[in-house]
Amino acid sequence: MKNDNIIATKTFDFSLKIISLYIQLKNQNEFIISKQLLRSGTSIGANVEEAIAAQSRKDFISKMAIASKEARETKYWLRLLHRSELTNTPVQDYLVEIEHIINIITKIIKTSQESAAKPIQNLYFKI
């Protein structure tokens, strides 16, 4: 089945990559940051999925905002791993990908907020 929702696909694929990175980090005995990274990195896609099933525009924006926060937290943990040199696993590609995800989610939120602010069109037909 083809999934046409780009951000849902990107965040799901990113979650799979984060799981692989978590396993690598765990095997290198890096437990604390790896668990934080696993939690925040997989939460992005979960919140995007919740947003897709939102009951209102306000609910959609709220869930996407949570996904944005989780993405930013994930970026923080990746930057920390990169700069601290706690691992020899390269994380630069992850940083590029999470930045791209953050940009997409930010655009989705802004577009949704702008369309929510527009006045409702007159639904009455003129005869």
CA 14/CA 95 separation, integer angstroms: 11
Question: Which CATH superfamily hosts domain 6-116?
Answer: 23S rRNA-intervening sequence (1.20.1440.60)
Q: What is residue 53's DSSP assignment?
A: T
pLDDT score recorded for residue 124:
53
| 10-residue stretch averages of pLDDT, the chain, 127 residues long | 81 98 93 96 98 96 98 98 89 98 98 82 51
Of 17, 6, 12, give the one whose Cα is nearest residue 95: 17
Of 74, 77, 93, 11, give the one whose Cα is nearest residue 48: 11
pLDDT score recorded for residue 1:
42
User: Domain locations in the chain?
Assistant: 6-116
Residues 6+ apart with CB under 8 A from 18: 37, 38, 41, 42, 74, 94
∠ Cα 14 16 18 (to 5°): 70
pTM score: 0.88
pLDDT score recorded for residue 87:
85
